[in-house]
Structure 1
Amino acid sequence: MVVAGGLCCLMFAVAATLGHSQPPADAPQTSQRQDDELDGRTIEYWIEQLASDSYSRRQRSSVILEKAGNEAISALAEATKSGDFEVITRAIRILQRLAVRQSIEDEGGAVEELTRIAADSVGSRGVVARDALSNIVSMRSDQAYEALNEAGVFIGQSTFVPTSPRMMALIRIDDAWNGDVDVLRWLRWIRDIDTVVLNDKACRDDVLIHVSRMPALTNVQLNNGDLSRRGLESLTNLQQIRVLIFNYVQFDQQPTDTIVRLPLVESLRMFGTNLDSEGAETIRDTFPGVLMEITKGAFLGVQSDMTATECRIQSVISGGAAEKAGLIAGDVIVELNGKPIKDFFDLKDEIAKADIREEIEIKVRRGPGDDANEVVLKAVLGRQDVQ
């Protein structure tokens, strides 16, 4: 019994020794690294030194707390509650430097603390925190412009609506883009542009999802691409959408259920999509105050004065169906496929019913006053150039 008891004690002792002799591989290194970064002191100790009478001591504590990284964030945030302006300023500046070291998509850590302090605080604490956030946004914005430009993303003045010459600040992603989706993470840091155009290869889900994270985004145009419900759903996260345009976009399934949940406030254009007629009616009923243009995508290619009481052609778009049919500026369209045309809106309504490549018959009044002649022309409707 004595031998058995001794053996039992020996086995227990060996097991205990083994249990303490094999800690996780990184435990000693992590502990040693933290000790080295803190110079053998605690984070709380170095927080106290931010208020030291010695300038060099305050400087040293700032350096050490910054090296401590995430481990010091909570203590630094707490330190900003002190009434000492020196401590508040130093703690927030350290948080600012830690924040810019985070991933551009990481809103936790120091970024989260600074955001909370800026929102909840009054007086110097809030002012310094808001200034720090402003500096971060400014720096990230500069980096975003540079990264996106290098990737072939257009950022500048351009037209937004193809039929309007008005220039506006916008971002356009098209075939000039190098295809690097990862670089589009920077879009969330573009805070001063509210308009985006996606063309061709860029008109797809993963690109739209990054675009939808832009904080000021209110105008979106999507041209010649394919979207699934996943991509379209990303637009439901916006605060509001003033203008939304789909030109020749095909959806993997009927988009009605998603579109009716979008925060539309001004206009929706769906030109040449595969939206069915039932979905179009549902969307119109959902947004009675929103300007709607939902068509099959056929395009004649004329411009007219929408305030006039007749449909007089002001200009003919080069290369369009109208030019090919022989329509000229000054012609007054009076009939389309036998139906009277009183103004430009009548013309738009009739063209909206037609399919791409459909042949139509147009009767125009050509020439001045009483000398005008009626001319009948045939046009094959095409697609609008939305590049």
Structure 2
Amino acid sequence: MVASRRAAVGGASPLLVAGVKAALTVLSVALTGVLAILAAGSVRMARRVVTPARRVPDTRILALDTAAQTITLSRTDDTALPGRYGLFTAGTSDYVKLGSVLSEDATSVKRKLLTHVSSDARLAPDAAFSGWYYDHPDQLHLPFTPELIGSTVGPCPAWLFPAGDGDTWVIQVHGRGTTRAECLRAVPVFHSLGITSLVVSYRNDGEAPRSRTGTYALGSTEWRDVDAAVGFARRRGARRIIVMGWSMGGAIALQLSLNSAHRDAIAGLILESPVVDWRVVLAYQARVQRVPAPITGLAIEALQAEWATPLTRTGAAIRLDQLDVVARAAELRHPILILHSDDDGFVPSDASHDLWAARPDLVEMQVFEVARHTKLWNYDQERWTRSIGDWLTARGLADA
């Protein structure tokens, strides 16, 4: 009986072993494939985060009426916004200003042209909607000079708009994938309050010098270029300095506030649609783009890991915990005004609300709706201007 049982087991064993081996091989191959897909996806995402972005078309020109000076665009959440905006184009014009919405339907929006377009103009269909409105300092009709700010990566171009007695300056810091022209909307507001504006560039933004890697560090190194601008302002006579950051420029401004040797000269921060915690932004963007959560998690970990830097091309790990200013709220010492739309659509306002709740003694927040990302001035210029003016006046930073 025992021998018979042994024979039965012995006879079945090769088949069983072969089956198990085959199953393990299939599982191993499948697991390897899944891990390879996850790894490749996370590396692509991490690289995309730190690679300076190029402007891409996000709408189409459906009709151009040069007699009536109107333009019809494909409808998006942005192109349907009330207010004044800009449009990056290709053809006989590379940028035009847009006025109010004249008519709209489910697929299109007709807007007034505020830049004259001649009857022989030819514009390519693909275009990019913009909140800049002004794309060159000449359009402000204010005195300005081009400047170069010496930083550790080289000379960074800037525009200087003098105002008042020169005691109070604001340094404007643009966001990711844009240039300093993004900040021009704010210059007249500060000029009217007697505040000198310095509109700066920083490494890898397409105007300032390139770093060794040519990639963003999400504020963890860029703040040094803005710190050089603070030093420039102090040498030119600035006694009180306000730093205004737009989107990623907000993250840079916050790092400057926490790390600068010139902290005592900083009188306050104004943050427009700011990045306060990158992990919140990256998770939100991943959901919008339907990136699987495991890929998002791996990408965030890769950005923070030294071993992954050859893959992410960052040159050094980016310590996202150091860029999480909600977690570091106790370290803040400068008054902060946050302007953020709860309908931002790109940088969610959650972390801005959290920072406001964490430091109500320092942080004031003006919550907008509908205005979208960095388009608060465009959407409601009167409220935006009043919010900044009131905040500055209450702190004695503006001419009465």
TM-score (norm 1): 0.23
- Relative to its length, the structure with more helix (as a share) is 1
- Bigger Rg, which one: 1
> Relative contact order (alpha carbons < 8 A, sep ≥ 6): 1 or 2 greater?
2
